[in-house]
Amino acid sequence: MTRTSLAETGSTDVIVIGAGFAGLYMHHRLREMGLNAVGIEAADDVGGTWWWNRYPGARCDIRSLDYSYSFDPELEQDWDWSEKYATQPEILSYANHVAERFDLRRDVRFSTRMTSARWNETTNEWVVETDQGDRWTAQFLVMAVGALSAAKQPELADIDSFAGPTYYTASWPHEGVDFTGQRVAAIGTGSSGIQSIPLIAKQADQLTVFQRTPNFAVPAQNGPLDPEVVATLKRRYREHRAEQRVSYGGVVNPSSEQSAHEVPADERTQRFDAIWEEGMLFGFLGSFNDVMIDPSANAIVADYLRDRIRSIVSDPATAEALCPTTYPVGAKRLCLDTDYFETFNRSNVSLVDLQSTPITRLVPSGIQTTESLYEFDTIVFATGFDAMTGPLLAPEIVGKDGETLRDAWSAGPRTYLGLTTHGFPNMFMITAPGSPSVMTNMLVSIEQHVEWSTEAIAWMAERGVQQIDPDLEAQDAWVDHVNEVANFTLFPKGNSWYLGANVPGKPRVFMPYIAGVGPYREICDGVANDNYRGFTFA
């Protein structure tokens, strides 16, 4: 799929940046509306995050039957998932299947990165340039760039001095990596580290895990899907999709109406055991109605999850080091694991707690901490992303009056509905800051944003309107509302990537809107039905 054509110049209706699940659906919708689109994608093929993140054990933490498109009833009937939680290769095959089924590749320029987009106030168009020398103009620009697609380099001194190979989970070699016989270091214990560490440990001679902050993790209890369960769901897939759309997180999970304090301790434990045994990742956060609001209710869940870690990990000191104690459960994203804590019982695995002995620098033979020099053949970095804003701020985006998006967002992202931003007319951002996005099943949120944006484009076309731009007052009110909702909860109480806390110097702003996909959809639909309240048209 690697691009071989020469630089292109041209004009189209819509330029779509990104060919992950958001970009693919956007192309499908635009084509159905009879609009022309040009897609720009840095990867060699479709799939977005699932194209890049090929590390061992990469899996979605939303159940496969939920993490799929709902826009075509035949598509959802025809496709068969094999496991409860799908692997990266299976999700990528699904993206390929969708691209082929709807012939979506033909409008996309792969192996091409957008470098800049400038709003031309005279022609009312976006002018987009790429690293291949392309120059496209269009009335609309859609940033379907993903929320976790700008990988973050760890801020470690002399990072390039290590003599052996290094691998990043977020851009894993397509041919895979063989760790047999090697001494391997893994830095980072978020989702990517927690998923890959058990598999690397099985192959490597020795694995040393460098942990800065321990994470809460829940076992996936993964396995093949029961054909009966699939058949039953497929018979009522339409209703299930409707339920997803009005749910809290885009998945249909039972959530409790009770406070954790109303229920006796043994009953609480039974409830937690059931969630643990079922491998329902976010079940813990909805196990009682105050888990993400009341610190003492949250502590009950945290105690349960820490006891689980202690019961799995044999060495008491290692178990304690693996227990999170500095933030509420859910304030850093809960991880879904398979044998993560069990891996620390293996004789070839050890843990270095960076809280007590931080890394001082990398050296040619390995990693130097304040206490020891550790020697390795290979280092794996599972060190995360410049989440949500990173992919939007990487290219130079210049709106009205020559203002750059980087300047407009210098104190943190500012959007209206997490879809648009003042001063950048006709630019739609799919699952941007200020929308439920990463707190939800992304497929549900992506579909809603693609549908809302394309409906706005159609509404404008019907009225002969050229330009849509959110009002500053509407945007300010939305940002205030997003913050107000977040601050009502415990979600902002951890040093998480939700807040940008993992990137030195990044403004600390809680980025997702956490009132739930159902209420959020109602707000967006209400705005549209009210003649796009809060927008100015020209």
Binding site for ligand NA7 (CB under 6 A): 148, 154-156, 169, 187-193, 210, 212-213, 333, 354, 382-385, 497, 502
Cα(391)–Cα(149) distance, integer angstroms: 6
Residue 167 near residue 381, CB atoms below 8 Å: yes
**Distance in Å, CB of 319 to ligand NA7, minimum:** 18
Pick between residue 210 and residue 304 the one whose CB is nearest to ligand NA7: 210
Which amino acid appears at position 2 of this protein?
A: T
Nearer to ligand NA7, 81 or 497 (CB): 497
**Hey, is 419 helix, strand or coil?**
coil
User: CB atoms < 10 A from the CB of 537, how many?
Assistant: 14
* Closer to ligand NA7 by Cβ: residue 88 or 206: 88
Q: How far apart are CA 51 and CA 274, in angstroms?
A: 34
Determine the Cα–Cα distance for residues 205 and 50; give it in Å rounded to an integer. Answer: 28
169/265 Cα distance (integer angstroms): 40
The closest residue (CB) to ligand NA7 is 190
Looking at beta carbons only, is 354 or 394 nearer to ligand NA7?
354
The token pair that represents 234 in the structure block: 């497929």
The answer to whether 427 and 524 are in contact (CB under 8 A) is no
Q: Which of 476, 381, 419 is nearest to 151 (CA)?
A: 381
Q: How far apart are CA 22 and CA 429, in angstroms?
A: 10
Residue whose CB is less far from ligand NA7, 5 or 326: 326
Measuring CA to CA, which residue among 123, 33, 39 is closest to residue 466?
123
Q: In degrees, to the nearest 5, what angle opens at C-alpha 149 toward C-alphas 144 and 153?
A: 155
CA–CA distance, 342 with 81 (Å, rounded to integer): 27
Of 188 and 516, nearer to ligand NA7 (C-beta) is 188
As measured in angstroms, the least distance from the Cβ of 444 to ligand NA7 is 15
- Closer of 105 and 152 to ligand NA7 (Cβ): 152
Distance between CA atoms of 211 and 354, rounded to whole angstroms? 6
Measured from the CB atom, is 197 or 301 closer to ligand NA7?
Answer: 197
Closest CA to 450 of 21, 3, 162, 22: 22
Pick 168 or 478: Cβ nearer ligand NA7? 168
Q: Please state, in angstroms and rounded to a whole number, the distance separating the CA atoms of residues 426 and 121.
A: 12
Report which of 490, 470, 476, 469 is spatially closest to residue 413, judged by C-alpha positions: 476
Question: How near is the Cβ of 408 to ligand NA7 at its closest, in Å?
Answer: 25
> By C-beta, is 190 or 391 nearer to ligand NA7?
190
Given the complex with ligand NA7, which of 137 and 171 has the nearer CB atom? 171
Q: Closest separation between CB of residue 534 and ligand NA7, Å?
A: 30
Within 8 A by CB and 6+ apart from 524, the residues are: 417, 419, 448, 452
User: Which of 393-425 are b and which e, b meaning 16 or more Cβ less than 10 Å from the residue's Cβ?
Assistant: bbbebbbeeeebbeebbeebbbbbbbbbbbbbb
| Nearest distance from C-beta of residue 297 to ligand NA7, angstroms | 23
Q: Are 260 and 290 in contact (CB under 8 A)?
A: yes
HEC states along 95-128? HHHHHHHCCCHHHEECCCCEEEEEEECCCCEEEE
Contact assessment for residue 441 and residue 67, using Cβ atoms and an 8 Å cutoff: yes
How far apart are CB 78 and ligand NA7 at their closest, in Å? 27
Give 15 or 42: the residue with its C-beta nearer to ligand NA7: 42
Q: How far apart are CA 373 and CA 399, in angstroms?
A: 50
